[in-house]
Structure 1
Amino acid sequence: MTTTAIDVHVISTSSLGDRSYLATDGASALAVDPQRDVDRVLALAGRLDVRITHVLETHIHNDYVSGGLELARLTGAAYGVAAADGVPFERVPLTDGDVLEVAPAMRVKVLATPGHTFHHLSYALEGPDGVEGVFTGGSLLFGTTGRTDLLGHHHAEDLARHQHASARRLAELLPEGARVWPTHGFGSFCSATQASGDDSTLGQEKEHNPALRLAADDFVRETLSGLDAYPAYYAHMGVANLAGPDPVDLRAPAQADPDELRDRLERGEWVVDLRNRKAYVGSHLAGTISLGLDGPMATWLGWMIEWGAPLTLLGETPDQVAQARRELVRIGIDRVAAAATGEPEELAASPDQLASLPTATFGGLADALNGSAPDGLPGPDVVLDVRLKNEWAASHVRGAVHIPLPELAGRLDEVPAGAVWVHCGSGYRATAAASLLARAGRQVVLVDDAFARAEPEGVPMVAA
């Protein structure tokens, strides 16, 4: 007698640090925490030749707009959401202990795991041989847990205690060999601390996860002390998901010609250059903001832009604009005012619109701080660090000014006068910051280098 194998397929959204899942016995399938662009899930189901019968949400998401409602509508699948989450759309209300029969040899047991949110659920996947693993959403992650302050700092401690108890409940109820399939923790700001690894079991988490190693008070203290800022657009995600997101629209934006681009730039609108930063520093339209698709563009753009403000996308190719459009609808930025493709020389209404950005390394910064700036570069009157607070607290350049990138647009008047040398952890955020400073008329030098090289190159540091 043969048993039916259950396969779990990962649908990764690395730009947001999340994973969705499709579990199947070869005929029926279960989708967990799908992103808004559900065509990826449908394409995978099509390649596998399986029918999606159930779509489950572990919680009302705060970091992306869910595709669960739309996927259920398109497939006719049952849509499972926590019964305690009051929503206006039709769904299967789930509570602790419920069992869903997905297929004759595949079922899911619902487990209440509050902590990331008050009504958070995890789903233990059972096959013919017992528990295969557990979809943990924002509960138990790889080496950490989901953050507990997204519903307000006044709930953070209470939810941290719930998170500790929920992680231990999973470890007690399920076998050590059960796979752990989290939604968050791959760079997402939904994790309490940086997750580690790409695969895990409950047994492995018992050895390494603070929620399973520390007593409750110690876990709460460590969790709360490590929480840093999270993207401002999160405030809009839960609202959209509770209301029921609109179907996704990935149609190309209206095309802007050079004159329209110049007009939008002169009005001070956000015109975002999607090319990598190496291309941007070489040549770009003055006034554009660098947020390349080689980094978490949607996260930083969604964090910085005024919600609902006009947005124009510039790419080398239509594919770049389409990719950006896809990433932005995942965080609820549905309207793009315009787009254009081509090289900066093709997009400029006049040659005087073209600009470049001077760059240096941390070695160059060390020399400049000693009075020997590299040829052609101004000495640093200001060293600006645009990393987040926890990064700054760990170590920073002595005498530097600290303004996190998400706050910079609103705090430009706090940057002291003179030439600004700006850095981050790798160069991506610093390029965005340099473009904001240049747009404001500041003289700026981009330190395009890894922060780990600062001290070895001789830059004076302050350590925690």
Structure 2
Amino acid sequence: MFFVDTLEFEGLGNRSYLAGGSDAAVVVDPPRDIDQVMAAAARRGVRIAFVAETHVHNDYVTGGLELARLTGARYLVPAAAHVSFERTPVADGDTVTVDEGLALRALATPGHTPHHTSYALTEGGRGVAVFTGGSLLIGTVGRPDLVEPRLTEQLARAQHASAHRLADELDDEVPVLPTHGFGSFCSSSQAEGDATTIGRERETNDALTLDVDTFVTRMLAGLEDVPAYYAHMAPANAAGPAPVDLTPPRRADAEEIASRLAAGEWVVDLRSRTAFAEGHVAGSFNFEGEGKLATYLAWLIPWGRPVTLLAEDPEQLAAAQRELTRVGIDRPGAAATGDPAGWIREGERLASFPRARFADLADVRERGDDVVVLDVRRGSERAGGRIDGSVHIPIHELYGRVGDVPPGTVWVHCAGGMRAAIAASLLDAAGRDVVAVDDGFDAATEAGLTLTRPDGAD
């Protein structure tokens, strides 16, 4: 009897899988921090015989090479992927035996990358699951624009063909187990739902319900911005990532924190946006440890800039450190935990700024106060409705464009509050008077704020 265990990584919006039988297993698209994968195998009492990559990943650093080294597993990597390490190259149709009666068959499914490969798990010759990586996702497909702009349309058409190949070759009841689609920007649109099958995708997925020209036009029109750190992920994966070091970083006292800030390094406060707004080290930035820490910190920080982490406790610090290794931010320069009063030098005071709701913004506008409303959502979100008179700078552009924000008190908002908190911390560190709107965007209409929509109608 086979099993499939799912390992979820909510911060990056990805999944990895451990699948096998009574004695041996395969790991598909493992994370950088492989200790939890090995623990999952130990709980099952199985040997990791194979590690399989669906593609050279663009959104995270893989732990596949190190996992294969430590376990002695064969490392399956698509033959057409250009990598600099020893592996077992797999081509379309190649099959390996995972355990008695359980096999893994490679299916060439180009589109997300030219070499992308899915893997069908078969038991007694019958398909029981398919690991689709960045090919067929839940209600969508992986984006085709991360490799080379000149290949984007070609790869989009390949995605359509690959989705049809999977649907043609696999039975309706076969579970589809993708790596991307749970918040990852590697997905061409966000997945709806938590699980799916070939049959369900056949009925609902644009790649399987639309003709190729309509599908390609629609998908390319809806692609979001690409996180800046993606440029560093594929080269790291192709070169062969080094093992991670998750030992605690060196401790920083108030003097060192001040010194690092003065040197232009990033000091990142992992506490909740509520706690940060109430009191924080002046000049520090707020990226909540419970939010999409790795995605947004890696997206905004100048690549290679040293980072010092401030956390409530060692557990929060350790979780953040683990998350950041997944995107190649391997070792914080230093860290501090505990009471933020201990993070500033004697005689200094913690900085703070107010938080508010959209109803509060409506009130100040009603009074005629001259305030700047800054929208840090993505362009696609803003196209669905924006506050009349607001300024738009997406969060991933704000660090380099703080000078573009008009003078005055800045009321900054996003769709829910997390990105607004990041933006407020960037503006506060730059010396601006800021109010962080911590509210759902639907509340803007309820508060009576005038929204402008794409058709010009209020």
**TM-score scaled to structure 2, two decimals?**
0.98
- Residues 320-345 of structure 1: CA distance to partner in whole angstroms, max 9, x if unpaired? 11111101110011131110111111
Q: Show structure 2 runs of 5+ residues with no match.
A: none
Of 149, 153, 164 in structure 2, the residue corresponding to residue 153 of structure 1 is: 149
Q: Which residue matches 1:169?
A: 165
**SS of structure 1 residue aligned to 2:381:** helix
Residues 15 and 295 in structure 1, CA contact (< 8 A), matched pair in contact too: yes
- Which secondary structure does the structure 2 equivalent of 1:55 belong to? strand
Q: Could you list the per-position Cα deviations for residues 285-315 of structure 1 after superposition, in whole angstroms to 9, with x for gaps in the alignment?
A: 1111000111001110000001111110000
Of 420, 423, 437, the match for 2:427: 437
Please name the residue that 1:251 is paired with: 247
Q: In structure 2, do the counterparts of structure 1 residues 427 and 163 end up closer, same or farther at CA, with 3 Å as the change threshold?
A: same
Q: Number of aligned residue pairs: give it.
A: 454
Cα distance per residue 1:122-141 (max 9 Å; x no partner): 00000126100100000000
Q: CA RMSD in A?
A: 1.0
Residue-by-residue CA offset, 1:243-291 (whole Å, 9 max, x unaligned):
0000111111111111111122233321000011111111111111000
Partner of 1:330: 326
Report sequence identity in percent.
Answer: 54
1:190-339 matches, within 5 Å, as 190-339=186-335
Which residue of structure 1 lines up, in the alignment, with residue 339 of structure 2? 343
Amino acid at match of 2:419: R
Distance (Å, rounded) in 2 between the aligned partners of 1:221 and 1:367: 43
Question: Which residue pairs with 1:386 in the alignment?
Answer: 376
Sort the Cα spacing of 1:369 and 1:8 in 2 relative to 1 into closer, same or farther, 3 A.
same
Structure 1 match to 2:403: 413
Q: Conserved in 2, the CA contact under 8 Å of 1:7 and 1:23? A: yes
Which residue does the alignment assign to 2:362?
A: 366
SS at match of 2:446: coil
Q: State the alpha-carbon separation in 1 of the partners of residues 378 and 149 from structure 2.
A: 18
Select 1:68's aligned residue among 64, 67, 71: 64
TM-score by length of 1: 0.96
Between the aligned partners of 1:35 and 1:386, the Cα distance in structure 2 is 30
The CA deviation at 1:426 is 0.7
For 1:350 and 1:189, the matched residues in 2 are separated by 43
2:181 pairs with one of 174, 178, 185: 185
Look up the match of 1:57.
53
Q: Which residue does 1:459 correspond to in 2?
A: 449
Measure, in 2, the Cα distance between the counterparts of 1:155 and 1:224.
12
Paired letter, 1:130 = R
Q: Deviations over 1:62-108 (max 9, x none)?
A: 00000111100010001000111122211111000111111121001
For 2:206 and 2:443, how far apart are their aligned partners in 1? 30
Deviates more, 1:81-90 or 1:57-66: 81-90
Residue of structure 2 in register with 1:109 after alignment: 105
Moved more, 337-346 or 379-388: 379-388
Conserved 8 A contact 1:380-1:421: no
Distance 2:370 2:364 in 1: 7
Q: Secondary structure at the match of 1:319?
A: helix
**Cα deviation code 1:357-395 (max 9, x no counterpart):** 1111011111111117xxxxxx45210001111111121
CA distance in structure 2 between the partners assigned to 1:351 and 1:207 by the alignment: 65
Gaps of 5+ in 1: 373-378
Helix, strand or coil at the partner of 1:61: coil
Cα deviation 1:410-436 (Å, max 9, x = unaligned): 001110011110001111110110011
Residue 326 of structure 1 aligns to a residue whose secondary structure is: helix
